[in-house]
Amino acid sequence: MSIYASDGRELVLPPITLNDAYQQAFVENINSLHKLLVQSSVAFNISANTSAEYEERTLGRLGSVVAAVFGSVFGQPPADRYADIFEQVSIFAEHLAQDHIFADGNKRTALRASVAFWRTITYR
């Protein structure tokens, strides 16, 4: 996918690396987004899964996905693993949806979180 500047030049958006603080903030934002999405749905009652243990496990699993995509893995930064930010964010969405971190709303959360992240990065 390409994005073009107003003068017709192609803009290259390289993959990014998030430090630990940004990763943690991203994890917490995804979890909050998920809660909002599921609460607005009548398909599933999220209150059954709000124990501290469930919350801790969910945050840990989210952290694993975020760290794997936006952090260095075995010393290899994202810039060495992904061609551009679009590939990086699409891999993130795929992992978030397929890992079934939440009891309900995995695909909705993956889509919304990815679009929000992409828009935040591209509008800097």
Q: Token pair 């390409």 is at which residue?
A: 2
**CB-based burial label for 24 (10 Å; 0-12, 13-18, 19+):** middle
Domain boundaries of the chain, sorted by first residue: 15-122
End-to-end CA distance of the chain: 18
69-103 pLDDT, tens digit each: 999 999 999 999 999 998 999 999 999 999 999 88
Give the integer Cα–Cα distance in Å for 105 and 38: 6
Least confident residue range of 6-10, 21-25, 56-60: 6-10
